[in-house]
Structure 1
Amino acid sequence: MEKIKIITDSTADLPEDIIKRYDIEVLPLLINFGEKSYRDGIDINIHTLLGKMEKSNVFPITAQVNPQIFLECYNSYIKQGYKIVSIHLSSKMSGTYQSACIAKEMLDTEDITVIDSLNVTSGLGLQVIKAAKLKEAGFGIKEIESGVGEISSHIRSTLFFNSLDNLVKGGRLPKASGIIGNILGIKIIVAVENGEMAVIDKVRGSKRALRSMIEYIDKKGIKKGEIAVLLHVGETDILNTLREDLKYRKIDFIECEVGCTVGVHSGTGACGVFFVESY
């Protein structure tokens, strides 16, 4: 049986127990805060980051994993006889995927498969978990690549933010969406679509926002045998109700907390669900 290593980056926002269970290598993106740089999840955690952001007028900048880091990581596992499946955040949001491709080309080997998730946070995380489960079942890197590709275009999300200010500052949403989101009582529901953030609904009030999210999940359906992810950071008006609703409807889900790279853009007070739709 092939020795396979699953590698991803810190934007997958996977809980520590899953990382340890499947022995996943997680490469950190950088958070540049003024003149200081921090490795996401290693030198700084989300709660420290949000605290610093509240006290500072400086908006942090996130930076991709560079090719040299990938090269060193890949080389160390190749030397140990591993084949590698490397899955990363959307190429439309970061150069991390391109860095991984450059490192693979430098090593000139077919023992590395690099996958553009066209997603981020738990949308990427679901693909990494899929890869890890296929590895555990004894599949090779090509079968794992195929299995991840099968669900990739069917991953859906519905996300609620207390404020869209950071998404606009970080260039993830157009300024007009932020202006609408700041109108009294208007709540904007966001999703990852085609590798980028997109507005999928506008409603008035938190109760209607919750209803919109649940209706979206019901409309798409969750594929049998696949888990959902309840993602959150900080407190929102709807997190607890959303959690209880998922439990009530017996949806199989895990909870993940937003990491630092994604947290720069979400700010404090965001939650949502990522899932594989029925197809």
Structure 2
Amino acid sequence: MGKIILSADSTCDLGEMLREKYNVYYRPLHIILGDKQYDDGVDIAPDDIYDTYKKHRILPKTAAPNPSEYVSHFKRWTDEGFEVVHINIGSGLSSSFQNCCIAAAELKNVYPIDSHNLSAGTGLLVLEAAERIGQGMPASQIQQEIMDLRTKSHASFIVDNLTYLYEGGRCSAIAALGANILNIKPCIEVDNTSGKMSVGKKYRGSLDKVLRHYTLDKLNQYTNIRTDKAYIAHSGISEERINFVSDTMKEIYDFKEIYVSRAGCTISSHCGPNTLGVFFMTK
């Protein structure tokens, strides 16, 4: 078999620089806003969602590509004799992986991977797959090795305000009101055995104070963090805060690369602006 194509759901939030460097092809998730359907990152951006919410108090719904859309996405390569490694958002969060597997069974030579993660937590696994493609590793081996790495990719993020989670039906009015009045900012943690999310530590105080404590807590939680690369992903936040978190990370570990990416519409529509997460891998 010849060249391997690397593909991923748009929710991996890899960032344009790395996406282009490693020739990663995105299959966008759907954003349903009002009576219109869009493709994440193609014909709608997070700021469009924020503007619509400010003006009309409407938040979008998100939907996975259906099996036929995955078939169309992969077929252009499999028809030419290529193999495709595709990395999905965690199956605990979306039906994307299930639909991708249906398409893979129809086409053959497609190797789906349930990332058990989201955003840059998935993005880190995409980079791992890209490195293995560069080494000439077979697609089936890449699939297995990335699956073995899933519990090594750690994702979490701080939500500045619970309004979007409440409006999207993901927390109660009482919880949102109480958190906003008391200035509580929860840490949302991703279970890397399923991709499901849960509320971790609840921080209280200004966003700057919380971001520092959160970053230190997460990096001090492990003694075997890989220092070759890490990520800061955010849903729209100031450059000063990004640099502040990056500097805080460097206080603990001498990371070779700290990539920064802005989350797409799927993530941003659930969390709202000023959400930021630190993503890294352990050995």
Query: What pairs up with 1:112-261 in 2 under 5 angstroms?
Result: 112-172=110-170, 178-193=176-191, 194-206=194-206, 207-221=209-223, 223-224=225-226, 226-235=228-237, 238-248=241-251, 249-251=253-255, 252-261=257-266
Q: Which runs of 5+ in 1 are unaligned?
A: none
Matched, 1:19 2:22: no
Tell me: CA distance 1:103–1:173, structure 2 relative to 1, closer, same or farther (3 Å).
farther
CA contact 2:40–2:266 (8 Å) conserved in 1:
yes
Pick which of 173-182 and 225-234 moved more.
Answer: 173-182
Q: Quick one: distance in 2 between partners of 1:244 and 1:96?
A: 35
In structure 2, the partner of 1:34 is 34
Structure 1 residues 244-266: Cα deviation after superposition (integer angstroms, max 9, x where no partner): 21244432310010111111011
Tell me: CA distance 1:106–1:171, structure 2 relative to 1, closer, same or farther (3 Å).
farther
Shift of 1:174: 6.5
Q: Which runs of 5+ in 2 are unaligned?
A: none
Matched, 1:4 2:4: yes
CA contact 1:173–1:197 (8 Å) conserved in 2:
no
Tell me: CA distance 1:222–1:258, structure 2 relative to 1, closer, same or farther (3 Å).
farther
Q: Quick one: distance in 2 between partners of 1:227 and 1:41?
A: 24
Pick which of 34-43 and 188-197 moved more.
Answer: 188-197
CA contact 2:158–2:275 (8 Å) conserved in 1:
yes
Shift of 1:182: 2.4
Secondary structure of the 2:156 match is strand
Shift of 1:133: 1.0
Secondary structure of the 1:200 match is strand
**What amino acid is aligned across from residue 105 of structure 2 in structure 1?**
E
Secondary structure of the 2:5 match is strand
Tell me: CA distance 1:46–1:59, structure 2 relative to 1, closer, same or farther (3 Å).
closer
Q: Quick one: distance in 2 between partners of 1:139 and 1:153?
A: 21
Query: What pairs up with 1:68-147 in 2 under 5 angstroms?
Result: 68-107=68-107, 109=108, 111-147=109-145
State the Cα RMSD in Å. Answer: 2.1
CA contact 1:227–1:254 (8 Å) conserved in 2:
yes
Give percent identity, aligned residues only. 29
Instruction: Give the TM-score of the pair, scaled to structure 2.
Output: 0.89
Shift of 1:179: 4.9
Give the count of matched residue pairs.
276
Tell me: CA distance 1:180–1:202, structure 2 relative to 1, closer, same or farther (3 Å).
farther
Matched, 1:277 2:282: yes
CA contact 1:189–1:209 (8 Å) conserved in 2:
no
In structure 2, the partner of 1:55 is 55
Q: Quick one: distance in 2 between partners of 1:87 and 1:64?
A: 13
Structure 1 residues 133-188: Cα deviation after superposition (integer angstroms, max 9, x where no partner): 11011111122112212221122123111112323443555667545532412221
